[in-house]
Structure 1
């Protein structure tokens, strides 16, 4: 297979993290400001997380926040990373995704995942079975809603008569006019760099077994286990890989994906196209000196991890183990784009060359400070992106 010359695309991953001493409103305002800055800086996308009842992230509905940000921006892609299907009704989420897809001119990407065995399952009434066994049924119902015109359900979790899909995500998109696309009507200020060049060969396209693009919003699946990888490959969906994954872990997941992909009757050319659509989450902190970049994260992130992740409650009192916050932060610094602009670019290019993954969602708010986050995103755009080719 010839070397992949598709561009490396960088997005900002925003958890709306509530660092110790901050209010919920401060965390959310930082996310909104950072998203607008990401567009100005020329980043390709913004990815939003959702959590319930914990300060690790104070956005409870990523699709709702995506709607706000799609209205505040003009060019950048906005995605969820992820919308949790274990506590969401697939039809309700499908309606939201279709609405955002059609009204944004196709700038919305729906990332979905199982979530965790948290108390959320009790609060929202879906129960632990939705997490442990129900994800395939929920994903399939969501996909049928996004790709169909009439949908019914006859499964153990969802059972309802056929109803019309309104609005239909498969309708042709209305593209913005040239002035809007260039940002000439954008009141948020000048764009420092244009949005990164689009890979017109299959970007964001879910493929059928015959290799044809599927209409509607792109869907990606968070994969943290072999079962999740197999499910994504069987449905023809790209993966979202977590921050904890180094290149060796990514390669193992990609090989599992390839095996399941080919077993589903799809070909190598289709696999090459979908590999471009996988998204790797990571961390980015840009500074003039590597030691300063690492120090910024090591001073802020361990306290946030301990404060935020430590607040999780399991649904049934099951035991849970938490990583050592300082060691985990050091691991993230070792794995990802943390250092000088050249080091950040080299790290991203090395992962792209070794794995074939060319889309990144980089946690840019690791300092916990609003102005430092905005400055970090600006440097990603002005000093790192130009080195990615």
Structure 2
């Protein structure tokens, strides 16, 4: 199994700390390759301290020049927020500059504050994503960009520099809701799983995704990639306390940024899953949701962290795991110790895991 490191650049309430956040996170990113991580991932978010990386391609281009072999992944570029021509050009340029090390992850977005700030109707995200994905992926395969769709009308133009390496085997899309999972099968992308619901539910979603992928593409779906929030310590009590403080604090920031208890999901097309989640939070309160999120993540001693990753793999069959080791106000020292212990004691065993074979795939 491949193991990666994901940097989210999570800030606090004081904007004066933003430079420190960047300094600390980039120091941790510089450790990723020497510690043996095989992938380095960046995310895209705007306008709040929840995740202060509005341009993952720019971040990964910077890291391409500071690394030699590590893969560079976007988790993810949110297509409805961008001109597909510029996405195709930026992806091609980064891939060429990095020597073919880029792994293209894309998504359709969830935060109302981001859609409004970027002047894109949130209710159009599903249709815009599908249309943009088709344009970008075709351009990356052919070197030609053109479209005559509902949202994008693009005269035929060559991409220069031209893409030189196919993205068919290094294409992923972020998906949490069943609606998004179906869309990603349609565009032929592997799934980036950011855990927010019970792993048995995710397992059901992945089974539907694999079935739809086979029907649409005539081949087996690529194995998913899982991102997990890590609190690893040799003392199990300390690790659990870390999980309560940091993983719990992180999910509180998720609920705030995405307004997960908000009533706007009831009237926003394409976000049916989040309507039920919002209703649950409104009736049950946020505490239960935070506790559930903590239990989805990777915390404990190195042995306990490894067992949690094994359990996730048994349910979703992922062939990659990306660790988030710095978040929710962790000091640099705490984050570095967390990252180093995971890399030394957990990662080598995870790397040795073979590809997971589903019975349904073996029988087909």
| Interval containing the TM-score (normalised by the shorter chain) | 0.7 to 0.9
Secondary structure of the structure 1 residue equivalent to 2:112: coil
Q: Residue 308 of structure 2 is aligned with which of 347, 351, 370?
A: 347
1:280 aligns with 2:226: yes
How far the C-alpha of 1:32 sits from its partner, in A, is 1.1
Secondary structure of the structure 2 residue equivalent to 1:240: strand
Conserved 8 A contact 1:242-1:280: yes
Per the alignment, residue 334 of structure 2 pairs with 372
Per the alignment, residue 19 of structure 1 pairs with 12
Map 1:305-320 → 2, pairs under 5 A: 305-306=251-252, 309-311=255-257, 318=264
How far the C-alpha of 1:117 sits from its partner, in A, is 4.8
Name whichever of 335-344 and 295-304 sits farther off. Answer: 295-304
Map 1:46-61 → 2, pairs under 5 A: 46-61=40-55
- Work out the CA distance in 1 between the residues paired with 2:134 and 2:141: 10
- Work out the CA distance in 2 between the residues paired with 1:317 and 1:143: 35
- Work out the CA distance in 2 between the residues paired with 1:374 and 1:327: 30
Conserved 8 A contact 1:294-1:333: no
Secondary structure of the structure 1 residue equivalent to 2:227: strand
Q: Residue 199 of structure 2 is aligned with which of 227, 240, 247?
A: 247
Per the alignment, residue 382 of structure 1 pairs with 344
Q: Residue 297 of structure 1 is aligned with which of 243, 252, 277?
A: 243
1:330 aligns with 2:291: yes
- Work out the CA distance in 1 between the residues paired with 2:287 and 2:69: 37
- Work out the CA distance in 1 between the residues paired with 2:227 and 2:2: 12
- Work out the CA distance in 1 between the residues paired with 2:242 and 2:86: 40
How far the C-alpha of 1:318 sits from its partner, in A, is 2.4
Conserved 8 A contact 2:76-2:174: yes
Conserved 8 A contact 2:43-2:75: yes
Q: 1:281 to 1:158 in 2, by over 3 A?
A: same
1:356 aligns with 2:356: no
Per the alignment, residue 361 of structure 2 pairs with none
Per the alignment, residue 36 of structure 2 pairs with 42
Q: CA RMSD in A?
A: 2.6
Map 1:1-389 → 2, pairs under 5 A: 8-20=1-13, 23-169=17-163, 171=164, 206=168, 218-267=170-219, 270-271=220-221, 274-275=222-223, 278-306=224-252, 309-311=255-257, 318=264, 321=278, 327-366=288-327, 368-388=330-350, 389=352
How far the C-alpha of 1:312 sits from its partner, in A, is 5.2
How far the C-alpha of 1:230 sits from its partner, in A, is 2.0
Secondary structure of the structure 2 residue equivalent to 1:125: coil
- Work out the CA distance in 2 between the residues paired with 1:28 and 1:225: 31
Tell me which protein shows more helix as a share of its residues: 2
- Work out the CA distance in 2 between the residues paired with 1:160 and 1:355: 38
- Work out the CA distance in 1 between the residues paired with 2:213 and 2:114: 33
- Work out the CA distance in 1 between the residues paired with 2:201 and 2:2: 21
Q: 1:302 to 1:385 in 2, by over 3 A?
A: closer
- Work out the CA distance in 2 between the residues paired with 1:120 and 1:20: 18
- Work out the CA distance in 2 between the residues paired with 1:48 and 1:125: 23
Q: Deviations over 1:278-302 (max 9, x none)?
A: 1112111110122211211322344
- Work out the CA distance in 2 between the residues paired with 1:339 and 1:236: 36
- Work out the CA distance in 2 between the residues paired with 1:69 and 1:129: 34
Displacement over 6 Å in runs of 4+: none
